[in-house]
Each structure stands twice: as C-alpha cells, then as structure tokens.
C-alpha cells in the first residue's frame, strides 16, 4: 500500500486515465481517499455531477482489506469542476482539515425550491418550477479503477464522532446523506484549489486536458497593472450601504498619467481628482464583488486583456452582495436595485472617474441571480445598459406557477431600436435544472429584436467555469478586435 500511495502522491488526485472504450474525447476520472479504520463513508461532490434524487450514487467504494476508497466516472476531456470530499470519520483521523458547512462553490441559496437555502453543492431539486419540462440528470458512468493493493486490517466503528464530539448519524438514518454532504473538505492530494464563497476551506479543482485554459488569470511581469481601490457607497434607493471595489486601468486615458502604485486587492489609493479632461472609459459593473476581487483577483484578468489589446481600457465597479438574504432580495429582478445602479452607483463613480454614459459601452455582468438581474436591468433600462453578460442565469425565477418571470416580461417587451441591447449568455451542460430556461430565453430575446448570443460549457454552477466565460463574454461585448 505504501508504494501505491507514493505513486498517487506523485501523480496527484484525481487520477485521469484513458477511456477504456478507446474514445479519445473522453477520460476516466478516479477520486481517491486514504481511509482509516474509522472511515465509514466518503461522498464525492463534483459541482453539479450528482443526481439529488440518488446522491448515494456518488459514494466511494471501499476496496476490501485496504485503506483505499475510490469513485470513478467517465467524462468528456473538456470537463472541469470544483469539488469536495465529504468524509465520515472522526475529525483529524486522516490529518486533514474539515471545511465545515456545505460543500461546493456556487452562490448559496439559488435553487428553484421555494427559496430555501441549499445543502452541500447547492444542488437544485429534481423538479423545475411548475409548468416546465424536467430534463434527465446528466448521465455519469461509474467505473472501477485499476487498483490493486495488499490487504491491511480495517475495523470500522459503528458511530464515529464529529469534531464537536457529537455522534454522527447511522448510515441507515434517513438524514445520513444530508448530514454527510455537510462534511466537505478539500482533497488532500490535489494542490489545485479555488477560494470558497464567503469563507471556509478552499475547494479542490479538477480540470481535464482539453478544458479551457486560464492563462489570462495568471499575473504577467510585462503587463502594466491597474489599481484597485475600496470604497463605501450609500444607496438611497435601497436604504443601505455596501463596499464597492473599483478597478481603474494602468493608464486611464491618453491625457492622464499612469495610475499610482500597482495594487493587489483593495488599496487605500485615492481616486483621481476629476474626470473633466479625460477620455470617457467603458464601464463594467460586475456583481458579487466580494468574490471576484478579494478572492479571485479579477483585476489580473482585466490587466491582461487590456495589455493584449482584446479589451479597451475600462473602469470596473464591483459592488458587494452583503449577504445571502440581501442578495436574494436585491438581485431577483428588484427595481430598487436597478435604481441603485442608475441613480446611485454610476453617478457616484462618474463624479470620480472618466466614465462613459454610452449604453453600448456599458456592461452589466453577473452569475446565477446576478445573471438574472443583469439581463433584467438591460431590458428595463436599455438607455443606460446596452450590454448584459449572464452566466448560469437564474431564469427559472421565481419558483412556482409564475416561473420564468423574466421570459414572460421579454415576451411583452420588444427591443427599443433607439437603444439596442446585446445579451451574452452561457450555462453549464451539467446544470440540468437551469438549462431549459437558459435555452428558451435567448430565442425569445432574438424574436423580440434583442441581440442574444448563447453557448454552453462542459461544467456546472461554478466559479471555476465562470472565470473563463467572463473573459470570453467581455471580449465579445467590448473587445477591440
């Protein structure tokens, strides 16, 4: 066993092997856990690659007489996902950190299930809002890995205890799998991780060989770096205040000197004195700023795209979502939040930086509920927002008989020829509950005179996928090529 685990340590996990059927476009992905005598179960949660009706299908198998636990699936070679391993064994038995709380990296609580917060991967239920067809869950082929090992003694106790000293439920208990989903932790043999939304242990990442690359997200020494500043903006429309991260490019205009010292994350650098003599810059408003800049470092992406000439110099405004409940309230087609954007945020920013007022050079971008709001705001206020970038938009909203409310609104709202709107939408092939609504809306947008581009990627409801999708969408909407 020592030799086997030494090879695994050297290779890293999960293991990626050729498709036994010989299909060059597919591979077998094997997740591993080195168990202890106390290990009872290990559940693998790749983002959205689970059928919530039968979550037990994602349980690892134990190779009898060894400390090897394994779970394999066959996926196309352009697949990528964040994932967690949910382990039932006493905390610290394997010497690994326990993440605590739900596993997975998508925005919490965004599922067509009456607004109830989700558990684990934010997996949506097996039904969509009333009146919509339900597609089958993605097909996952379970496979046994080629693992051979010498036997070792393994006697597992009936009731291990959690880190808090509380007895775990028995595997036969109806609440066992929901409890197990909450025991997520990173894969200890995978060095590739992604920050987790609103804190917690990072998520592990699997990226197959043909998945889109992330070179645009890597800092480059030869690229001038823009500046990120952190501010507090009060909203009269919403009656609250929030942090807003502001990205300004390395050179704000041909008539202005380069920005002050480069920043990593938020800095205390003061804003420019005024926009009077500057060339107006395009504007990106990217929701969930607390994730995109402090955790993911979107400034690096913007620096690289601008330096390569794929984007013009622009200013990005990244408002904080505050918390899950507020996010639900504000991003679900809330007119007061649209008023915050038009009457509070943009005027506040225009008084400090040289911003365009041209809707054709203004982009709203968001994911999940953020994608819903970005598209709604462009339909409601095309005179101000000429571009909507939606990633995995929650177009099913709201739950129940009034589902897909925005689609119904678009059906009665033809595009304004004086204020054209471009919509760039994408969704993951594994998002089998969101896909029907995401496929319907672009067709209707085009029928109503809006420009709508739609595509699907091999992934789930996942910041890992949204990173590259964001770059592609911005280049298509604002690119200089």
The band of 121, judged by pLDDT with boundaries at 50, 70 and 90, is very low
Contact 461, 426 (CB under 8 A): no
pLDDT of 156 above 70: no
Contact 332, 403 (CB under 8 A): no
What pLDDT is stored for residue 138 in this prediction?
41
What pLDDT is stored for residue 467 in this prediction?
97
Contact 176, 158 (CB under 8 A): no
Dump pLDDT digits (tens) for 364-401. 999 999 999 999 999 999 999 999 999 999 999 999 99
Task: Give 91-105 as a 3 state SS string.
Answer: CCCCCCCCCCCCCCC
User: Residue range 33-46: average pLDDT?
Assistant: 97
Contacts of 429 (CB under 8 A, 6+ apart): 138, 435, 456, 457, 458, 459
pLDDT of 29 above 90: yes
Contact 243, 231 (CB under 8 A): yes
pTM above 0.75, yes or no: yes
What pLDDT is stored for residue 110 in this prediction?
61
User: Residue range 228-249: average pLDDT?
Assistant: 97
Which range among 3-17, 243-257, 357-371, 416-430 shows the weakest confidence by mean pLDDT? Answer: 243-257
What pLDDT is stored for residue 111 in this prediction?
56
pLDDT of 57 above 60: yes
Dump pLDDT digits (tens) for 425-481. 999 999 989 999 999 999 999 999 999 999 999 999 999 999 999 999 999 999 976
Taking the C-alpha atoms of residue 134 and residue 149, their distance in angstroms, rounded to an integer, is 43
Q: Is 209 exposed, middle or buried (0-12, 13-18, 19+ CB in 10 A)?
A: exposed
The band of 159, judged by pLDDT with boundaries at 50, 70 and 90, is low
Contact 272, 260 (CB under 8 A): no
What pLDDT is stored for residue 262 in this prediction?
37
Count the residues in the chain. 481
What pLDDT is stored for residue 200 in this prediction?
80
What pLDDT is stored for residue 162 in this prediction?
55
Dump pLDDT digits (tens) for 337-346. 999 999 999 9
Contact 63, 28 (CB under 8 A): no
Dump pLDDT digits (tens) for 281-296. 999 999 999 999 999 9
What pLDDT is stored for residue 252 in this prediction?
57
What pLDDT is stored for residue 201 in this prediction?
86
pLDDT of 91 above 70: no
The band of 125, judged by pLDDT with boundaries at 50, 70 and 90, is very low
User: Residue range 46-71: average pLDDT?
Assistant: 96
Which range among 90-99, 128-137, 163-172 shows the weakest confidence by mean pLDDT? Answer: 128-137
What pLDDT is stored for residue 1 in this prediction?
85
Output 150 or 303, whichever has higher pLDDT.
Answer: 303
For all residues of the chain together, what is the average pLDDT? Answer: 85
User: Residue range 110-128: average pLDDT?
Assistant: 35
Which range among 141-150, 203-212, 289-298 shows the weakest confidence by mean pLDDT? Answer: 141-150
Phi, then psi, of 93 in degrees rounded to 5: -65, -30
User: Residue range 311-337: average pLDDT?
Assistant: 97
Give the residue from 344, 229, 243, 249 showing the smallest Cα distance to 305: 249
The band of 251, judged by pLDDT with boundaries at 50, 70 and 90, is confident
Q: What percent of the chain has pLDDT over 70?
A: 79
């Amino acid at each position: 066993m020592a030799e086997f685990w030494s090879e695994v340590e050297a290779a890293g996990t999960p293991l990626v092997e050729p498709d036994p059927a010989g299909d060059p476009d597919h591979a077998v992905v094997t997740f591993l856990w080195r168990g202890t005598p106390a290990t009872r179960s290990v559940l693998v949660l790749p983002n959205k690659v689970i059928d919530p009706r039968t979550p037990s299908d994602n349980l690892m198998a134990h190779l009898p007489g060894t400390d090897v636990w394994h779970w394999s699936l066959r996926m196309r070679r352009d697949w990528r996902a964040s994932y967690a391993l949910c382990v039932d064994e006493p905390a610290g038995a394997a010497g690994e950190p326990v993440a605590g709380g739900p596993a997975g990296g998508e925005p919490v609580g965004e599922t067509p299930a009456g607004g109830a917060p989700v558990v684990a991967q934010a997996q949506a239920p097996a039904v969509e809002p009333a009146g919509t067809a339900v597609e089958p869950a993605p097909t996952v082929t379970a496979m046994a890995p080629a693992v051979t090992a010498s036997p070792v003694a393994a006697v597992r106790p009936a009731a291990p205890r959690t880190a808090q000293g509380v007895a775990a439920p028995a595997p036969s208990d109806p609440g066992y799998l929901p409890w197990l989903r909450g025991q997520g932790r990173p894969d200890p043999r995978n060095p590739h991780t992604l920050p987790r939304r609103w804190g917690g242990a990072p998520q592990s990442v699997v990226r197959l060989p043909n998945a889109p690359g992330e070179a645009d997200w890597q800092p480059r020494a030869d690229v001038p770096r823009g500046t990120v500043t952190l501010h507090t903006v009060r909203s009269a429309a919403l009656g609250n205040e929030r942090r807003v991260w502001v990205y300004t490019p390395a050179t704000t205009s041909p008539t202005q000197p380069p920005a002050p010292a480069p920043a990593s994350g938020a800095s205390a650098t003061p804003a420019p004195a005024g926009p009077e003599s500057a060339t107006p810059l395009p504007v990106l408003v990217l929701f969930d700023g607390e994730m995109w800049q402090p955790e993911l470092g979107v400034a690096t992406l913007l620096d690289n795209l601008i330096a390569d000439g794929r984007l013009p110099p622009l200013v990005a405004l990244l408002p904080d979502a505050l918390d899950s409940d507020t996010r639900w309230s504000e991003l679900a087609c809330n007119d007061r939040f649209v008023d915050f954007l038009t009457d509070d945020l943009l005027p506040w920013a225009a008084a400090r930086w040289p911003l365009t007022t041209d809707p054709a050079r203004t982009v709203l971008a968001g994911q999940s509920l953020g994608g819903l709001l970005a598209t709604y705001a462009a339909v409601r206020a095309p005179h101000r927002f000429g571009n909507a970038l939606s990633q995995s938009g929650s177009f099913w909203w709201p739950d129940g008989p009034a589902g897909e409310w925005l689609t119904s609104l678009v059906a009665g709202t033809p595009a304004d020829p004086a204020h054209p709107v471009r919509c760039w939408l994408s969704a993951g092939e594994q998002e089998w509950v969101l896909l029907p609504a995401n496929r319907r809306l672009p067709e209707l947008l085009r029928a109503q005179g809006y420009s709508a581009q739609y595509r699907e990627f091999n992934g789930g409801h996942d910041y890992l996928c949204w990173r590259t999708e964001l770059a592609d969408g911005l280049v298509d909407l604002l690119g200089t090529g």
